[in-house]
């Protein structure tokens, strides 16, 4: 296995009603709930993808971040070998609770397939894959906190074993309107912009 240096190409952070792309605030609004924030962000960046509106909050969060990182670099003509390696703390708990509420009252029993399909954390990986037609490797991990050493090791192994040309790696946490997304693209391509940064330092910025 050839150990080539891998480099962070771009990163994005979404939290507190703000989107920060490569260190620059690109979208910020007055405090509101995530449903409103995500809708406004979607409109602001003129994302033309109506499936967005049926996604659960976790998928919307992951979608917004990946959209801004991947859309400029993915091609519709050729295959994009970009692996997805995401993690969070609360899995799909936010949607699990919503679905659970819909089935726990016998008098008011309305299980919805549209909600149930989102009761798994990796569905957000599916949404990103469908959007960018990524048939690449993908995994969703659950850690107590963002395990940056593990995540960067995992990404490096994928790149150094040529399993992927690029890895979209990060943390997408959503529970009860408390959210934080941190996503970055990593590849072997040289990039001096973030030479002194790691996933860890960027995540904590």
Partner 1 sequence: MAKGVAITGMGIISAIGNSVEENYLSLIENKIGISRISNISTVHADVIKVGEIKKTNDDLISELQLNDDNNFSRTAMIGTLAAKQAVENAGITSINEFRTGLISATSVGGMDMTEKHYYDYFEKPELVKYITCHDGGDVAEKIAEELGLKGMVSTISTACSSAANSIMLGARLIKTGKLDRVIVGGADALSKFTINGFKTLMILSDYYNKPFDNNRKGLNLGEAAAFLVLESDEIVAKQNKKVLARVSGYGNANDAYHQTASSENGDGAYLAMKKAFEVSGLKPSQIDYINVHGTATPNNDLSEGRALKRIYEDEKVPDFSSTKPFTGHTLAAAAAIEAVYSVLSLQNNVVYPNLNFETQMEEFDLTPQTYLKNKNIEHVLSNSFGFGGNCSTLIFSKS
Strand partners, 175: 178
CB nearer partner 1, residue 179 or residue 194: 179
Strand partners, 173: 180
CB 174, CB 86: distance < 8 Å = no
CB atoms within 10 A of CB 111: 10
Q: How far is the CB of 35 from partner 1 (least distance, A)?
A: 19
Q: How many residues bind partner 1 (CB under 8 A)?
A: 47
Q: Does residue 126 interact with partner 1 by CB under 8 A? A: yes
- Tell me: does residue 71 bind partner 1 (CB under 8 A): no
Span interacting with partner 1, options 37-45, 111-119, 166-174, 189-197, rule CB under 8 A: 111-119
Q: Find all residues with CB under 8 Å of 30, minimum gap 6, and list them.
A: 17
Contact flag: residue 119 with partner 1 (CB under 8 A): yes
Binds partner 1 (CB under 8 A): choice among 42, 52, 63, 118: 118
189-193: long-range contacts at Cβ-Cβ below 8 A with a sequence spacing of 24 or more? 189/7, 189/9, 190/7, 191/7, 191/8, 191/9, 193/22
Nearest to 15 by CA among 48, 46, 43, 38: 38
Instruction: Report the site for partner 1 in 82-101 (rule: CB under 8 A).
Output: 84, 89-91, 93, 96, 99-100
Does 23 bind partner 1 (CB under 8 A)? Our answer is no
14 pairs with which residues across the strands?
19, 181
Shortest distance, CB of residue 36 to partner 1, whole angstroms? 24
Query: Residue 130 interacts with partner 1 (CB under 8 A)?
Result: yes
Interface with partner 1 (CB under 8 A): 1, 84, 89-91, 93, 96, 99-100, 103-104, 111-113, 116-127, 129-130, 132-144, 147, 150, 153-154, 157, 163
């Amino acid at each position: 296995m050839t150990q080539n240096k891998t480099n962070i190409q771009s990163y994005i952070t979404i939290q507190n009603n703000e989107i920060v792309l490569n260190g620059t605030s690109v979208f910020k609004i007055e405090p509101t709930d995530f449903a409103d924030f995500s809708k406004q962000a979607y409109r602001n960046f003129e994302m033309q993808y109506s499936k967005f509106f049926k996604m659960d909050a976790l998928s919307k969060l992951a979608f917004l971040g990946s959209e801004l990182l991947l859309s400029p670099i993915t091609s519709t003509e050729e295959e994009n070998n970009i692996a997805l390696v995401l993690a969070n703390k609360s899995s799909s708990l936010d949607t699990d609770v919503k679905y659970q509420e819909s089935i726990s009252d016998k008098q008011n029993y309305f299980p919805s397939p549209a909600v149930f399909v989102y009761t798994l954390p990796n569905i957000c990986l599916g949404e990103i894959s469908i959007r960018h037609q990524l048939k690449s490797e993908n995994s969703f991990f659950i850690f107590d906190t963002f395990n940056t050493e593990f995540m960067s090791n995992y990404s490096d192994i994928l790149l150094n074993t040529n399993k992927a040309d690029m890895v979209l790696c990060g943390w997408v946490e959503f529970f009860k309107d408390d959210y934080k997304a941190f996503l970055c693209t990593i590849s072997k391509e040289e990039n001096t912009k973030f030479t002194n940064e790691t996933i860890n330092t960027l995540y904590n910025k």
